[in-house]
């Protein structure tokens, strides 16, 4: 027997959605398909028509935004396949974040075939176009030799590009390279400057190389070195305000 209830989403006035259970299937089974169809149309979530118009006219930002709605299930049913279609439209126009999400879908096999080669192709495009997450991902892979040949010099370059956009994971990675002297001159002041900036903000599990402000304080640095780090951090934060 068919399920009597079908979940429908009613867009709220805010960004959230209210999930309602309507007896659409039950109505249809009782011969009231007209009423069931009316309810479905009334409450069926949809992307705002203005956004669709912009997207259909080639606006890459609008195309990406529609893709994100399907990717997240934001006001519409989550659908990685449809997300991929809209991301690709934006990506083909050089939209860096759209390119990154095409890479993510290929990495995970969501909505697109799981394909490391295609994932790296789109990830590199996104990185070259300035997406910090793609830049970090490329730096991480080059640092570890994950799927591509290990290259500390290139890893440092891509980590730095993302780190300068205040990407905490990239700051942590760049600090590690300076700490070890891989691809860059070994420099503990430079290392702990980047560690300090990233402290407590990395997205992954805490690793031995993931430093907190307290860890930096415990290091054997001279007073002059500590003063230099603190001065640089203060200047950095003034130039790169963080919104809480």
Asked whether the predicted pLDDT for residue 9 surpasses 60, the reply is no
**Count of alpha carbons within 13 angstroms of residue 17, beta-carbon side:** 21
pLDDT in tens, 180-221: 999 999 998 999 899 888 876 766 544 444 555 556 556 678
pLDDT value for 211? 56
Give the number of other Cβ atoms within 10 Å of residue 66's Cβ: 25
Which H or E element spans position 6? strand 6-11
> Is the model more confident about 139 or about 21?
139
* CATH of region 130-244: 1.25.40
Mean local confidence (pLDDT), 160-169: 95
pLDDT value for 75? 82
Q: Do domains 47-129 and 130-244 have the same CATH topology?
A: yes
Specify the DSSP class assigned to residue 63: H
Out of 57-61, 106-110, 236-240, least confident range: 57-61
pLDDT in tens, 173-187: 999 999 899 999 999
pLDDT in tens, 40-96: 444 445 655 656 766 677 889 989 999 999 999 988 889 999 999 999 999 999 999
Where in the chain are the domains? 1-45, 47-129, 130-244
- Calpha distance 92→86 (Å, rounded): 10
Give the number of other Cβ atoms within 10 Å of residue 215's Cβ: 13
Residue in the structure block whose two tokens are 């009231």:
32
pTM for the whole thing? 0.73
> Is the model more confident about 22 or about 185?
185
Q: What percent of the chain has pLDDT over 90?
A: 51
Average pLDDT of every residue of the chain: 79
- Calpha distance 233→217 (Å, rounded): 14
pLDDT value for 50? 56
- Calpha distance 171→228 (Å, rounded): 18
* CATH of region 47-129: 1.25.40.10
The three-class DSSP label of residue 19 is strand
């Amino acid at each position: 027997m068919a399920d009597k209830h079908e979940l429908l989403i009613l867009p709220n006035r805010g960004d959230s959605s209210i999930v309602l259970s309507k007896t659409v299937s039950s109505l249809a089974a009782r011969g009231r398909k007209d009423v069931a169809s009316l309810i479905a149309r009334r409450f069926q979530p949809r992307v705002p028509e203005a956004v669709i118009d912009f997207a259909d006219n080639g606006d890459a930002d609008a195309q990406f935004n529609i893709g994100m709605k399907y990717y997240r299930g934001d006001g519409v049913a989550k659908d990685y396949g449809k997300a991929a279609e809209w991301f690709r439209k934006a990506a083909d126009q050089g939209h860096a974040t759209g390119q990154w999400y095409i890479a993510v879908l290929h990495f995970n096999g969501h909505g697109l075939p799981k394909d490391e080669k295609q994932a790296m192709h789109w990830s590199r495009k996104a990185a070259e176009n300035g997406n910090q997450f793609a830049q970090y991902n490329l730096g991480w892979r080059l640092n570890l030799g994950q799927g591509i040949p290990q290259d500390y010099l290139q890893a440092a370059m891509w980590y730095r590009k993302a780190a300068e956009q205040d990407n905490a994971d990239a700051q942590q990675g760049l600090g590690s390279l300076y700490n070890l002297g891989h691809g860059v001159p070994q420099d503990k002041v430079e290392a702990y400057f980047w560690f300090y900036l990233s402290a407590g903000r990395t997205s992954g599990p805490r690793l031995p190389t993931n430093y907190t402000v307290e860890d930096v304080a415990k290091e054997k640095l001279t007073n002059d070195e500590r003063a230099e780090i603190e001065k640089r951090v203060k200047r950095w934060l003034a130039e790169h305000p963080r919104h809480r």
